[in-house]
Structure 1
């Protein structure tokens, strides 16, 4: 086996300020009440920066700035708005190395993923929606679709910059203005994006960024002058937001949790399936709402597939997110690590068999070894609850009917994967799965032209593609 020498990306590539304010009306300021919080590097627990926590007055100012900017911005011809989006996309490409390093430092994900997956997709979303800005009359939502107004957008910590792009790009393309709240543990790339907006000469107030914890998000969602709320995050918080906006007339889209089934049939190419399983659950440390966290494997090949999967897992490298050889980085926070650890211990206590490859974890930071559980039943909590970490539950099935029944036996409905050489089987099974996205002989592949979203407790509404415009148009 090859021994890999360290190949770290330099953190000196990106300048991190000691403290950051709120981005309101095109300027940074320190907030009205002076409250701050610290954002840390999850791989080392080192404090990266001090960030302003927005109070209700700050949210009022941000929404007012977005409201003032809405009239001039929405009255611009679509082709003119498109120019700003194209400019933002190009600046993101030019500064992608800085952004990739910043994202890995603040989030804990491997630099290879932030560099090769997140950043190209971020730029692609802005390019894609720039193309739609002057074609809205042909999108299928009426001959003269109008923007809603001020969009309040609350995004999670697992893909901080990518979730920003998913939200901001269609909102701006359709003529809305934005107040965005990034996650408390990963605010830095959103604040960097504020600088990108200034570099692109985006008119002040079109994009505003308020940082803080749950209270800040609640002020924003409840604000009476917000017309549209978009949230990606946990199902629990999504329910709270739905209750808050009920009866207010605000438009709402929710992209929530998942417990995706990755179904492997007996005619699947084993090696290809193993790569898809690994990518499905260990990509981004399993911090993926559409992660393939339930492996459903046909009984006749279960032994062979598990042996191959364990061999592949033994080659995964856990460690420094800035090392280009790293496959699995740090867990985003101490709180998330505690939840992953607790549910894994419950899985073992309930009788499932736990296995992890031998791997040494760093002394400092938040780390969890890639883990699989076998002997799992549908009654186990690890098969029902979203763990949001590098933990895979393995179940078996005998017939396609049993596979579909087990796959759909979940309150979630965000994604699924099917592995088979028979196209007819793939289509027949996919048609019966209650999941917003079904991948065939691949997993975790995204494209800005393809809509994404879920059913049941995974939320409603779609992001990406032509469908992603609808939520921002009256």
Structure 2
């Protein structure tokens, strides 16, 4: 892409008119007429007044989705026909990369260099990957007697509700939509109330690409209203959710209160990065540790927010990590030179600042933290590194979802593993070591859905993403994600 500077992006942003209506068989206002302001966290300015949906809009969306599914135009289309549809949506995303990147940057405060180079093109690539996978997924023939034929096939579940967070608005939506649509389901997308704009534009692009009416609905609104209505709806067959552990528990309750729908939660994390004392290149490790917690202002569920380091390299590594944290430029996300933008909202900033204060009181030594002075909105926080924190302290056990790193110095590998595994979460972990045998043995002992060895937050559409324990059990990405959106059906033919 042609390199753009801050002024170029600002000029392009002026040309964008965000979509503000819900999408239920086309663009519609909320039935109550209510709207909610979506705010640019970088400036505090209102970007748009977006339809504020409620349970009546959810009912309409579910009715529409069920009608589309029963009609069969998408659900019973051949894999190649659905693949072609996904490719067309991907092409619309690729044709509008600048617009979609700007919508996420403006709406969520994300760095434009990330949304333009990673999030938007990555979303199109995920759609294409699932499109290409569809004619490579086979059913089964069971081992029966000669008089019988038992065929096991995968069928779409029906109506899927996808509830996504604000930290990666477009890409998280695609993580859910791509496999759910590929499998033949009708999907109702509920974006975060803090960042709905790219999801609403995506609905328009999907319609332009020829996705049949009703196959994709987008219903913006408050989580306790729209999310709860989807979770409790008797005609929703599955909920796929990324967000907090507390909300994931609620969706399981809603399923029990309604139709026992499947719930696939990808929930919170408090991931550790373990650094063993055999590493030689501490600059490389320090770069990785800093990237693991300060990328996207720490608003990453798999962020490695706890550094567990063996004493032999601790002092030298800590000095380098603190220096990198202090060197981060916190500023305008539309400026390509910015190292870290704001958090998503004033509400989230207040929560992060409160936890920073808690952490400072629990730490022996504090570097950074607090608001950046002189910024256009109270959403810019400085990276914080906390030394001498008890692994059981609140700041070391609580998901901050902000740029806060706690440091824990240990003597042995056993102690490192115990500290790393010592939270209610088990989403991700990092490990740095120069020993191949140690890499294998320690990685096996780390309780996490993904262990990134000598790299940072390893991720690819071909590998599953998700965790254990309080991090939930859903898996996004890879062919395994199709398992969430299909049911096994046995057709048994007796020859008599």
TM-score range, shorter chain: over 0.9
State the alpha-carbon separation in 2 of the partners of residues 277 and 432 from structure 1: 20
State the alpha-carbon separation in 1 of the partners of residues 32 and 369 from structure 2: 49
The answer to whether the aligner puts 1:316 opposite 2:328 as a matched pair is yes
State the alpha-carbon separation in 1 of the partners of residues 21 and 121 from structure 2: 27
Q: Which residue of 1 aligns with 2:119?
A: 118
Q: Which residue of 2 aligns with 1:153?
A: 162
State the alpha-carbon separation in 1 of the partners of residues 191 and 419 from structure 2: 35
Q: Which residue of 1 aligns with 2:461?
A: 448
Give the root-mean-square deviation of aligned CA atoms: 1.9
> Aligned to 1:343, what secondary structure does the other structure show?
helix
> Aligned to 1:171, what secondary structure does the other structure show?
helix
Q: Which residue of 1 aligns with 2:147?
A: none
Q: 1:304 aligns with which of 316, 323, 329?
A: 316
Q: Which residue of 2 aligns with 1:37?
A: 36
Q: Which residue of 2 aligns with 1:339?
A: 351
Residues 342/365 of structure 1: CA separation in 2 closer, same or farther (3 Å cut): closer
The answer to whether the aligner puts 1:294 opposite 2:303 as a matched pair is no
Aligned residues of 1:414 and 1:454 also touching (Cα < 8 A): yes
> Aligned to 2:135, what secondary structure does the other structure show?
coil
Kindly state the Cα deviation for residue 8 of structure 1 after the two structures are TM-superposed: 4.3
Q: 2:180 aligns with which of 167, 171, 177?
A: 171
State the alpha-carbon separation in 2 of the partners of residues 62 and 423 from structure 1: 52
State the alpha-carbon separation in 1 of the partners of residues 237 and 353 from structure 2: 40
Residues 168/18 of structure 1: CA separation in 2 closer, same or farther (3 Å cut): closer
**Runs of 4+ displaced beyond 6 Å:** 139-142
Residues 280/158 of structure 1: CA separation in 2 closer, same or farther (3 Å cut): same
Q: Which deviations, in whole Å up to 9, do the C-alpha atoms of 1:18-75 show, x marking residues without a partner?
A: 76111001x1011211111000000000000000111211111111111111122111
State the alpha-carbon separation in 2 of the partners of residues 9 and 159 from structure 1: 23
The answer to whether the aligner puts 1:200 opposite 2:201 as a matched pair is no
Aligned residues of 1:136 and 1:145 also touching (Cα < 8 A): no
What TM-score, normalized by structure 1, do the two folds share? 0.95
Kindly state the Cα deviation for residue 140 of structure 1 after the two structures are TM-superposed: 11
> Aligned to 1:20, what secondary structure does the other structure show?
coil
Q: Which residue of 2 aligns with 1:387?
A: 400
State the alpha-carbon separation in 2 of the partners of residues 401 and 205 from structure 1: 54
Q: Which residue of 2 aligns with 1:66?
A: 65
Kindly state the Cα deviation for residue 444 of structure 1 after the two structures are TM-superposed: 2.2
Q: Which residue of 1 aligns with 2:231?
A: 221
Structure having the higher Rg:
2
Q: Which residue of 1 aligns with 2:24?
A: 24
Matches within 5 A, 1:32-431: 32-70=31-69, 71-137=72-138, 143-214=152-223, 215-246=225-256, 248-268=259-279, 269-356=281-368, 362-431=375-444
Residues 453/77 of structure 1: CA separation in 2 closer, same or farther (3 Å cut): same
State the alpha-carbon separation in 2 of the partners of residues 296 and 72 from structure 1: 53
Residues 445/93 of structure 1: CA separation in 2 closer, same or farther (3 Å cut): farther
What TM-score, normalized by structure 2, do the two folds share? 0.91
State the alpha-carbon separation in 1 of the partners of residues 228 and 141 from structure 2: 33
Aligned residues of 1:330 and 1:366 also touching (Cα < 8 A): yes
Kindly state the Cα deviation for residue 460 of structure 1 after the two structures are TM-superposed: 0.8
How many residues align? The count is: 469
State the alpha-carbon separation in 1 of the partners of residues 339 and 478 from structure 2: 30
Kindly state the Cα deviation for residue 357 of structure 1 after the two structures are TM-superposed: 8.4
> Aligned to 2:396, what secondary structure does the other structure show?
helix
The answer to whether the aligner puts 1:434 opposite 2:443 as a matched pair is no
Residues 361/369 of structure 1: CA separation in 2 closer, same or farther (3 Å cut): farther
Kindly state the Cα deviation for residue 13 of structure 1 after the two structures are TM-superposed: 2.5
